[in-house]
Amino acid sequence: MADKTAKLHLNGQNYDLPILSPTKGPNVLDIRKLYGQADVFTYDPGFTSTASCDSTITFIDGDKGELWYRGYPIEQLAAKSCYLEVCYLLLYGELPTEAQMDDFRARVTRHTMVHEQMHNFFRGFRRDAHPMATMVGVVGAMSAFYHDSTDVNDEWQREVAAIRLIAKLPTIAAMAYKYSIGQPFVYPQNDLDYASNFLNMCFSVPAEKYEVNPALARAMDRIFTLHADHEQNASTSTVRLAGSSGANPFACIAAGIACLWGPAHGGANQACLEMLREIGTVDRIPEYIAKAKDKSDPFKLMGFGHRVYKNFDPRATVMKESADEVLDLLGVGDNPTLQVAKELEKIALEDEYFIEKKLYPNVDFYSGIILEAMGFPTSMFTPIFALSRTVGWIAQWKEMIGDPQNKIGRPRQLYVGSDRRDYVDLKAR
Ligand code: CMC
């Protein structure tokens, strides 16, 4: 991979840094030997210029606004594929044949139920707990229920854990929701596809027949697909870091869910819809735009901006079309939140501040509007992101564990604290 080197001149010495060439994207300076040779660290808080691993799974070109899973553009997958096929692609690297797809679908479908004793575990939570809080706990607890798939050195166990996580996350998310609203848990149904099954577990009740609307199931499936992976984002890096110590996959995915919850990451879809509701009417938009631009105000326009995309987020383009379709289908196209969202988008895209800083609507700007129209409360938005992203986390975790170069993740620091000093007795201070 390295056919060129960069020269570093430091303290009178010359050091050669290999330049690694990726399939796509900018070249990467290999600094692995730098500390050993030159006794210096590099400094990069937030990893804005640091590649933490090599990966074959997902590629993003932030300037062009492109996202590929295993080389396939997200727009093609969203239009022609389905979430379970995308799961197969992310996990195994290639699109499945028909027989492989049938086998994979059967394996996932047969693992959708959770251990019956897990129901008791749910009941230990307060009713008003946020479903993300419940999910962090329950997914972490899976290692206490499925001991036979926690040995990370056993390939077969890794495979079983992957299937269990992809299959059971919708069940766990739906159970967290049902528990929070005081309704009975709904068991998965194996004759339904992945998205329909999730909708059924969330919205059906024993007292009444519930028919899943196929168009809504398709929209749900597309939301899952758009969130399935996003290379080395905060939660994925959390999963990799947790996994680098040899922690079991359920513990690692629980760590990823905890990280995703933050409003700068997956929590943005909930925060965005709450912001749109708070703005309330189109005439109040300029006030919020001014707040977002005010350096002394911590307020940010939720659903805008991205660390990597400095052009439109390609997921947002697909999500926007989906939002229009779903709202038309449900006859809520004149929904006031959507009106505020559309106007906010228009004004922000014409505003010098947003243009100069390349702040475009991201995937979370539209997903909340669709999910709300489907009947989900805002507290379920991030759990839906979490269940969709589980396959990405697992694919990245499996890639890392299978990599012979895998080492425990251990960043260094620039220490700026006090120099050595002697302890002073309490009474003498
Ligand atoms: N509203 C107003 N100003 C913004 C926004 C925003 N949403 N996002 C960034 N800026 C400004 C920021 O203040 C900074 O200004 P300056 O250069 O004057 O200091 C400049 O733009 C660069 O932003 P940054 O915060 O340095 O960029 P970052 O890469 O560290 O942060 C981000 C990226 C996504 C955390 C941030 O844009 C943000 O907080 N957006 C709102 C939350 C959100 O929608 N998150 C979802 C991301 S997509 C889904 C996911 O991956 O989870």
DSSP structure string for 98-146: HHHHHHHHHHHHTT-SPPTTHHHHHHTS-TTS-HHHHHHHHHHHHHHH-
Nearest partner of 203 among 186, 191, 219, judged by Cα: 186
pLDDT mean by block of 10 residues, the chain; 429 residues: 86 96 96 96 96 96 95 97 98 98 97 95 93 96 93 95 98 96 96 98 95 95 97 98 97 98 90 93 94 94 91 90 88 82 90 93 89 93 97 98 92 97 97
**128 with 72: CB under 8 angstroms?**
no
Strand order in the sheet with 13-20: 2-10, 13-20, 28-29
Decide: 389 in ligand 1 pocket, CB within 6 A.
no
Decide: 348 in ligand 1 pocket, CB within 6 A.
no
Ligand 1: atom nearest CA of 305 is: 37
Ligand 1: atom nearest CA of 365 is: 44
- Per DSSP, 281 falls in state S
Decide: 289 in ligand 1 pocket, CB within 6 A.
no
User: Residue 234's Cα: distance from chain center in Å?
Assistant: 8
DSSP-assigned letters across all residues of 58-90: EEEETTTTEEEETTEEHHHHHHH--HHHHHHHH
Nearest partner of 392 among 11, 144, 57, 9, judged by Cα: 57
Spatial distance between the Cα atoms of 130 and 134, rounded to a whole number of angstroms: 7
The CB-side HSE value for 324 (13 A sphere, CA atoms) comes to 6
172 Cα: distance to centroid of ligand 1 (angstroms): 31
Ligand 1: atom nearest CA of 266 is: 52
- Choose which residue among 226, 285, 313, 362 to substitute to test ligand 1 binding: the one with the highest number of ligand atoms within 8 A of its C-beta: 362
Orientation angle between helical segments 285-293 and 268-279, nearest 10 degrees: 130
User: Residue 142's Cα: distance from chain center in Å?
Assistant: 20
Spatial distance between the Cα atoms of 333 and 21, rounded to a whole number of angstroms: 48
Decide: 364 in ligand 1 pocket, CB within 6 A.
yes
Q: Which element (helix H / strand E) includes 28?
A: strand 28-29
Spatial distance between the Cα atoms of 145 and 113, rounded to a whole number of angstroms: 13
Considering only CA atoms, which residue is closest to atom 11 of ligand 1? 357
To the query of whether residue 227 is one of the catalytic residues in this protein, the response is no
6 Cα: distance to centroid of ligand 1 (angstroms): 32
317 Cα: distance to centroid of ligand 1 (angstroms): 19
Decide: 268 in ligand 1 pocket, CB within 6 A.
yes
Q: Which element (helix H / strand E) includes 14?
A: strand 13-20
Residue 286, token pair as written in the block: 């300029």
63, 306, 328, 403: which is the annotated catalytic residue? 306
Spatial distance between the Cα atoms of 78 and 83, rounded to a whole number of angstroms: 8
Decide: 303 in ligand 1 pocket, CB within 6 A.
yes
To the query of whether residue 364 is one of the catalytic residues in this protein, the response is yes
58 Cα: distance to centroid of ligand 1 (angstroms): 22
Decide: 357 in ligand 1 pocket, CB within 6 A.
yes
88 Cα: distance to centroid of ligand 1 (angstroms): 32
Decide: 266 in ligand 1 pocket, CB within 6 A.
yes
pLDDT at 278: 94
Q: What is the pTM of this model?
A: 0.93
Ligand 1: atom nearest CA of 230 is: 51
pLDDT at 2: 61
Decide: 137 in ligand 1 pocket, CB within 6 A.
no
Considering only CA atoms, which residue is closest to atom 37 of ligand 1? 305
348 Cα: distance to centroid of ligand 1 (angstroms): 14
**111 with 160: CB under 8 angstroms?**
no
Residues 6+ apart with CB under 8 A from 428: none
